Amino acid sequence: MTITITAFERSPDGGMGLARDTRVRWALEEAGLAYEVRPVSFAAMKEPAHLALHPFGQIPTFEEGDLALFESGSIILHIASRHPGLLPEDENARARAITWMFAALNTVEPPILEIVIAKFIEGDKPWSQERMPLIKGRIRTRLNQLSARLGDAEWLDRNFSAGDLLMVSVLLRARPSGILDEFPSLAAYVARGEARPAYKRAFADQLAFNTARH
């Protein structure tokens, strides 16, 4: 059965790899699965056909035969649960790896996304600049805790897992602001993620996809 995901017709980042389809592409590459990508315009994202796939009008979505999913975390967990390479065999280790998936999405990413809100959604407001140090402070709190836990380990819980895949993807969004590089051990952790052949293929493919449309 063919796997089809959706991506921005024109990614707001122009192919920097920060849109959420990159995470899903990376997981598919780690699992060695072929897939097709259907571009969706911002207008089409809010139309009934896409809302039937994704009730919140976003990308990515995942379709395979009868199954349609949304939410990159859920899509990656689905791929990781059915194919080797992204979750450990041992039951307890698997539960811990899934914990890191949730931690990346629910604890580490929200403060990082606040920068996007302050800069782009509330960028014209008088408080936008003044809020930035508070937002950055909240990100630093999380990255401090994360780097304390990572220590000098290669990955968050022994071997690379979908938890690392999501944590690296989330941390990449803290790089443009310069905050990631304030934490050398986390910057090195992200670099280890980026060095994986599967990440490189995913990044190159989303870049080619976006470049073809710009």
> Residue numbers of the site for a second copy (CB under 8 A)?
51, 55-58, 66-67, 69-71, 73-75, 77-78, 92, 95-96, 98-99, 101-103, 105-107, 109-110, 113, 121-122, 125-127, 130-131, 134, 142, 145-146, 148-149
Residue from 71, 79, 70, 1 nearest 36 by CA: 1
For residue 61, the tally of other CB atoms under 10 A from its CB is 23
Nearer to a second copy, 118 or 198 (CB): 118
Nearer to a second copy, 161 or 210 (CB): 161
Report in angstroms how near the CB of residue 70 gets to a second copy at its nearest. 6
Alpha helices in the chain (DSSP H): 21-30, 42-45, 48-53, 72-82, 91-102, 109-116, 128-150, 162-172, 184-194, 197-211
Report in angstroms how near the CB of residue 105 gets to a second copy at its nearest. 5
> What per-residue string of b and e applies to 110-142 under the rule 16 or more CB within 10 Å gives b?
ebbebbbebeeeeeeeeeeeeeeeebbeebeeb
Report in angstroms how near the CB of residue 197 gets to a second copy at its nearest. 27
Report in angstroms how near the CB of residue 81 gets to a second copy at its nearest. 8
Nearer to a second copy, 16 or 113 (CB): 113
